Structure 1
Amino acid sequence: MVKVGLTGGIGAGKSEVSRRLAALGAVVVDADLIAREVVAPGTPGLAAVVAEFGPEVLAADGSLDRPRLGAVVFADPARLAALNAIVHPLVGRRSAELEAAAGPDAVVVHDVPLLAENGLAPFYDLVVVVDAADETRVRRLVELRGMTEQDARARMAAQASRADRLAVADLVIDNDGPLDRLEPQVREVWQKLVDHRTV
C-alpha cells in the first residue's frame, strides 16, 4: 500500500484530480465527505455536536445546520476548537477504517484540503499538490462557484500560501491551464504512485 496525501488551495482543482485518480484505480478517502458522514442524523457525532452547541444548530429536518454552526465556530476560536475535538477523532477513525479495508496493494489517496495548514505531510508516503496561480483560482471561484472576488480572496487568505503547500509536495500537478492539460499529468502522477507502491 502507498498512502498519498492530496491537497491544493481552494479553486486549484483538487477535486477534479481526485476524481481522475479514482477512475484510474485509487482508493480515495475524502476528509470533507467523511466529516459530513460522521455528523449525519442519528450518529453519535451529531449527538455530541448538539450536546456541545445546543439544539439550535439543527435544521428543521434534524440534520446539522452547517451555516448556523459555522457562524458560531468561525467567530470564536474556542468554539471551533470544541467542534474540532468532536469531529476530528471521528474522521480519523473512519479514514483509518477505509484505508485498512483497501488492501495491501492499494494506492490510497487521502483528499485533505488543509494538509499543509495542519502539518499532516509526515503522515503520508507521498504528498501530491494540485497547484494553480492565485489569479487563476480567483477567476475560477468567481466564474464557477459564484463567489465575489472579495470572498474568494478571503477564503484563499485563510488557507496556506502557495509556497507553503509547494514546500510539502513530493509531486506537483500544474492545473493552471485548460482541463485537457490535466489528464496526461494525472496519468503520469498515477504511474509514479503505482511505482512507489512496489518500492
Structure 2
Amino acid sequence: MRSNFNFEGFGIIGCLFGLAGLGFSIWQSMNMRDTTKKLDLTIDDVSSRTNVEVSDSIVEKAIERAVNRQVNRAADEAIDKVRNDIHDEITKRVRKEVDTQYNRIAEETSERVSQQVAEIDEYSFRDRLQKKAEELMLKRFEHDLDGLRTEYSRKLGSQVKTFTAIEDTLTNLVLGGKKQNDDGGIRLRLG
C-alpha cells in the first residue's frame, strides 16, 4: 500500500497556523497597550488629586540630620588630614635629627677607633693573630686527619688478618697440620 503524502497541503496548513499565531500576538499586544495607558492615566490622576502635607518639624529634623552627617564627615576628613600632616612633619624632623646624630656619632667612633688602633702593640697583635690562625688550621685539618687515621687503621687491620692467614697456612704446611707448643717446637712468624 502506498501512502500519498501531500507536502503542498502540509505547507499550506503550516502557513495558516503561523498567520493565526501572528494575529493572536498582535491582538495581545494591543490589549496590553490599552491596559497600560489606562493604568498610567489612573496613577497620574490619583497623584495629582492627592495632597501630601509634611510637617515642618519632620523637615527640620531631616535637615538637621543631613547637616550633622555632613559636619561629621568634614570633621573626620579634617582630623585625618591634620593627623597625616603631623605624622609627615614628625617623620621629617626625626629623620633630620637622626642624620645629624649619625654624622656626630660616626666622627666620634672613627676618632676612638683610630686612637685604639694606634695603641695596639703590633708584635703582641701579630703573635695573637698567628696563634689564632694556627688553632683554626689545626681544627680544620684535625677532621681530615681523623679520617685518614680511620682509613689506615682499617687497611692495617685487613693486612694483619692477611699475614695471620698466611702464617697459619705456612705453619700447617711445615708442621703438617700439627701445632707445636712454644716450648720447643718450630713456629714460623712473619712480620
Q: If the TM-score is normalised by the length of the shorter chain, which range does it land in? A: under 0.3
Q: RCO higher in 1 or 2 (8 Å CA, sep ≥ 6)?
A: 1
TM-score, normalization: structure 1?
Answer: 0.17
Q: Report the structure, 1 or 2, having the larger strand content.
A: 1
TM-score normalised over the length of structure 2: 0.18
- More helix by percentage: 2
Larger Rg over CA atoms? 2
